[in-house]
Structure 1
Amino acid sequence: MNIRRAVQADLPKLLEIYNYEVINGVATFDTEPFTLAQRQPWFDAHNVANHPLIVAEVNGVPAGYATLSSFNSKAAYDSTVELSIYVDQACRGKHVGRELMSAILDLAREDSRTHRVVSIITGTNEASIALHKKFGFRYAGTITEAGFKKGRYLDVGYWELAV
């Protein structure tokens, strides 16, 4: 497995990974798949400032990705970033998420502009919760029934890590 910064050529596969979760899962509260053109601004907002976008590559193909994104648009929040990790459904259970988490947190710790990493995790996502606990994230609270997807209301938990 090779962990590296994402490049433009990765975008179609990253979009495929994300859209799979949009359609089939509840890790994101987006409900409609994105097109490449719609996802381009998201891509362009990364690998600038303290917002890296990294890829776990297996056999030359992205198997997953991790980002640190803006947590809130207000300037005082600039040192707090939101973590997201998505793994191709065919590569789950193969430690891709763990390797991405380790690498993205290393980047956060190396960047003096980053003070806190926050993750917003759907309450039913036990694998993500376990991964965050393993890396020392602290549970910060739940917003109950924050979103409606797949015919049900879903809670979201907030997890944080000082870096």
Structure 2
Amino acid sequence: MIRKATVLDLPAVKEIYNYAVLNTTATYDINPKDDKYFVDMLNEHTGKYLLSVYEENGNVIGYVALSRYSKRDAYDITAELSVYVKNDCQNRHIGTQLIEYALQEAQKNNRFLTVVSLITSENEHSIYLHKQFGFEFGGRIKNAGFKFDRLLGVDIYYKNFQ
């Protein structure tokens, strides 16, 4: 079941995200985030922005966010998509369901005209998944980050609804 996140979901969201921070290049964060970070995240995802969780048997095992793409006003028609799934729940199409849900929400009442994802260039699984939803390659920034003692690129994928 996918539903809007509440403050009670934040410990599970924190666990999922911090695992990615410490073990993957899915995020360019290097240090785990504290409770305040996730409370702020929940508070920032109100109104047209979205933070939803995937719950199974009472446990949050994934989440999706449609976040502000930029603080500049002209970008208010664009959201940044982020999807994270608990490590031991990968390859069960949970990410697929979360992206599908977020894209449906993004289109409701013309909430957003464009959704953007910034994906580590080596993350072939995420790139494949985004392409399945019609995201287009918008460019690559080489050497955009440094994590695990190596340089990483980031690919920009976007989906326009009009």
Structure 2 equivalent of residue 135 of structure 1 = 133
1:86-108 Cα distance to aligned partner (Å, 9 max, x none) = 00001000110000011010000
Could you tell me the TM-score, scaled by structure 1's length?
A: 0.96
Q: Tell me how far apart the structure 1 counterparts of residues 111 and 97 of structure 2 sit (CA, whole Å).
A: 23
Instruction: State the Cα RMSD in Å.
Output: 0.8
Matches within 5 A, 1:9-158: 9-46=8-45, 48-158=46-156
Q: Tell me how far apart the structure 1 counterparts of residues 57 and 85 of structure 2 sit (CA, whole Å).
A: 15
Shift of the alpha carbon at 1:42? 1.3
Q: Tell me how far apart the structure 2 counterparts of residues 148 and 161 of structure 1 sit (CA, whole Å).
A: 27
Q: Tell me how far apart the structure 2 counterparts of residues 148 and 76 of structure 1 sit (CA, whole Å).
A: 30
The secondary structure found in structure 2 opposite 1:65 is strand
Task: Mark the runs of 5 or more structure 1 residues left unpaired by the alignment.
Answer: none
Asked whether the 8 Å contact 2:6–2:42 carries over to 1, the reply is no
Asked whether the 8 Å contact 2:13–2:62 carries over to 1, the reply is yes
Deviating beyond 3 angstroms after TM superposition, the runs of 4 or more aligned structure 1 residues are none
1:60-103 Cα distance to aligned partner (Å, 9 max, x none) = 11110000001110001011000000000010001100000110
The secondary structure found in structure 2 opposite 1:78 is helix
Asked whether the 8 Å contact 1:50–1:111 carries over to 2, the reply is no
Identity %: 42
Could you tell me the TM-score, scaled by structure 2's length?
A: 0.97
1:91-149 Cα distance to aligned partner (Å, 9 max, x none) = 00011000001101000011423110000000011110010000000000000010000
Asked whether the 8 Å contact 2:65–2:83 carries over to 1, the reply is yes
**When the two structures are aligned, how many residues end up with a matched partner?**
161
Moved more, 79-88 or 32-41: 32-41
Gap change, CA 1:67 and 1:111, over 3 Å in 2 = farther
